[in-house]
Structure 1
Amino acid sequence: MKDSVAAILVAAGRGERAGRSIEGPKQYRSIGGRAVLAHTLAAFRSHPRIDDIVIVIHADDTELCERALGPNIAGAFLVTGGAERQISVRCGLEFLATARPTPRIVLIHDAVRPFIDHETIDRVIVAAEDFGGAIPAMPIADTIKRASSDATIAETVPRRGLFGAQTPQGFHFEGIRDAHEKAARSGRSDFTDDASIAEWAGTTVMLVEGAVGNVKLTTRQDIAAADRTLKERQAMIDVRTGNGYDVHRLIAGAQVTLCGVTIPHDQTLDGHSDADVCLHALTDALLATCGAGDIGDHFPPSDPQWRGAASKIFVERAVAIVREKGGRIMNADISLICEAPKIAPHREAMRAAVAEMTGLSLDRVSVKATTNEALGFLGRREGIAAIATASVVFGETA
């Protein structure tokens, strides 16, 4: 069983360097039509490993936060923070300590890093599980200068081995909670991030690859640039189309299963599972939209657990993979090639079954059939083939 994972989004700051705005502190400023915090929350909520999300806010910001997040606030826990980030994080940890069960891993993230991606989150979780602590970081590319009090250069600092720390920073929950409590008892409030508290307490903290786009919005210019970036992304719709093809031999029998619907027939389809050519083709079409291999990669025919399995399982897993990768299925189209049985009397039941598996409305599902004009093995009724096409839009914010 995988470790339970919780996320703390630290959103209690005032953001003075971003200037004043009627929208409030920078975590509530609008970028791409939504609050910065809303984008950050969506990134964590859509990650399949995140179980609970705590948003730590300023005591004065409850109404502001609720307005900024709207219905998306459902399921997230609002916790009041303190005057300093370190105190706010401790408030979030104390809240999670009351959860049942308490998380094994906790990720602590700056709410004003809205472009965090799932791959970076994955790397942090895995390293935190293995070593106790992990942070994403990027090598310092600029030459580093140390300044004197009069603003002249005192020295050039070698940049080899220097990294810029990002968030989320991940830890074993009990370890980072104990480290924060120890720091509070010691009167230490000068730590600049949670990794530095963990290091001070003796926890091993690993560096994992960060992301160039995982920037912290600090100034008014940062927020304006983020708004431009999102608007440019929204202007380019990422719609992908995947195709799938499958064929199965017909043998003596009493029925065939097509699109999950059992149809009486004087033959049956031969295959390791239920040999539903329609759903096998659709599974491949869905997987193709996100480069996730094919049905054989996920459900190898050599695996006995899939013997006689309902192919609905395959489609539902492909749907889950598409959604995990940020996709929204737009439509599914299936074409059957066979001489018999007649498909028309069963078409609506087949469409309804596919709609249920994919979460699509009925008007977004098409099932149709054609013969092979008595030509070839299909024309000789030796098999049935199916071609499926699926369209999926990626890159939308939740």
Structure 2
Amino acid sequence: MLTRSDHDPALGHRRRTLLLAAALTPVAAGFGTGLAEPASASTAGGSAQDALSWFDTTVTVTAAGGSTVRVINDRSWAIAWSAGARAVRSAPRRSRDAFSRAALASALHTGLSALTTGQQATLDAALADALARIPDGRAKRDGVAAGAREARALIADREGDGLDAASISPVIEVPAPAPGIWQPTAPSFSRPTTAGIAHARPFALESAEQFRPAGPPPLGTDAYRTELDEVRTLGRIDSTERTEEQSFIAQFWLTSAVPLLQQSLRRGLERTDDLLDRVELVALTYIAQVDSQIAGAETKYHYWHWRPITAVREDPENPEPEWTPFETTPSHPDYISGTSLYAGVGSAVLGALVPRGPGRRFQLTSPAFPDTPRSYSSWAALGPEAVSARVFTGIHFRTAGADALTLGADVADHAVHRRDDLFC
């Protein structure tokens, strides 16, 4: 079993320092050549294997029947798996295995049935399969009741939390044009999106601004000029300096941050043996993912920092009115990067709860490049690459990614520290 003791803040600080140092250094991570370690069977038998099966089911039903807005899907994961963690924790000592397995199945079936659409047949089949592998008896019946009860209670508790489609992207006023201030960007010149996330109710944070970072480098400073020159050179659509590998990294991460980090999390589950530990690993990851997006939106709309496309085109020292990024710029401010938030959370939760690491090098596959996986040797290796990927696309300054890694890690550390409170 994983330790339930309080998280060590000093260890978290040292890890974040290393992440930040790596992220601030321009990188071109090499194509992976190591072989992935084969997935091992759980030493705890069927009970821990149940978490892997339900993880795969959750991936399927949220992808097919969830929202197109990332934070809404993450909310569904957080609610359903937190309910599972609470139900599994309530298992009586004498019948823990049967009760826990039934409780997990029932919590996830109940939660995901309410939080996704058009997936009932898939969820019903998963529930029937899970329950068929558990011996009949009182423990099984009690577990089913406990799981459904926890899911219904948590869904009710989260009602009106501000993470619905109508609340997430309200119409807001854009600041007057000024150097350093975000403005709608080409080609769509759309109004800013996802600002409402900043006002949603977190799962673990006390407030959205609890870990607000210090902000981007001030305009005119050497640090700002360095970052502007980097993204101007490496992030332009017609760059002659961006290598073939850097272009691949940019596109590998472009639309696939969610599946890449889900693959990493599944690897962490394979490296964890106990059912409750597996369930809490997933629940804490998605609690932290939701809370980091709340904190990230608060940060974005606190600073309103302009995107590279505006900064380069309107640079008072060297304007390039026709500069175009390698990929299309999203319609919200630069600081901070959502993809790097995700990577920061994933690295921090896996580092805290699966400290023995991924084992040998493990491979991740981007949906855009199914035949060209990349391999990694540690949980922390993902973060710096995610940061650089956004620079290579031309849509983020480096500090927007580096500070996002730190913010994601801070939010994740806080969630892990509150583990017992969240699942009592």
Same fold (TM over 0.5): no
Higher strand share: 1
Question: Which structure has the larger Rg over C-alpha atoms?
Answer: 1
Q: TM-score, normalised by structure 2?
A: 0.22
**Larger relative contact order (C-alpha < 8 A, sep ≥ 6)?**
2
Q: TM-score, normalised by structure 1?
A: 0.23
